[in-house]
A and B are shown apart, each in its own frame.
Chain A
Amino acid sequence: DVLMTQTPLSLSVTPGQPASISCRSSQSLLHSDGKTFLSWYLQRPGQPPHLLIYEVSKRFSGVPDRFGGSGSGTDFTLKISRVEAEDVGIYYCMQNIHFPRTFGPGTTVDFK
């Protein structure tokens, strides 16, 4: 199985300041079609997860442009340019190329 790791596991941020989460996979997520199937999800308290980023860097419909994804192969990063109140929650990366699908352990983001 592909192991997904995230750092840090917890992040306290100041509103308006940037934040960054790293995700690493134990195998390459690059498909033979040239696409890389790494996605990011946010789970706000008491809510189901929702999709933020797919294929490493593509923002899903309605996702604010303060969210950005980057990376390749096995190393990926989610960046929030200026954290807002609605960004508090747990962020998960997920690989969508190999079965079984696997999630990272989650990074909890809250305010200082």
Chain B
Amino acid sequence: EVHLLESGGGLVQPGGSLRLACVASGFTFVDYAMDWVRQPPGKGLEWVSTISYRGEDYAGSVQGRFTISRDNSKNTVYLQMNSLRADDTAVYYCAKGLTLLDSWGQGILVTVSS
């Protein structure tokens, strides 16, 4: 069974940084693209980033501020978030896949506020 577990969320001041991690199990991690998707409070889903054979892709709203990476030896994908803004406040989900997102984590809340 696929399991994705996010960590690293919390409260951060505007302009600050945070690194999210997502530990995966139940599948051959190195063989799959991994994604981050976020959901602001009370709003819809917004794709953030994907790491795949293509390299790294980003939403325009986070390009230059967020960096996705992975450590295949640890079955972990990361999202380094810098220069955080209030509108980055959201639940961040880790998801598996490239042409479909077939598994999702439970999500982790990131709150950007002074």
Contact = CB atoms under 8 A, between A and B. Distances in A.
Chain B binding surface, main DSSP class:
loop
A37 B44 CA distance: 20
Interface residues on A, range: 20 to 34
B40 interface: no
B47 interface: yes
A1 B61 CA distance: 12
A48 B106 contact: yes
Contact of B45 (A50, A96, A106): A106
Interface of A: 1, 35, 37, 39, 41, 43, 48-51, 54-55, 60, 90, 92, 94, 96-97, 99-106
Interface of B: 35, 37, 44-47, 50, 57-60, 93, 98-107
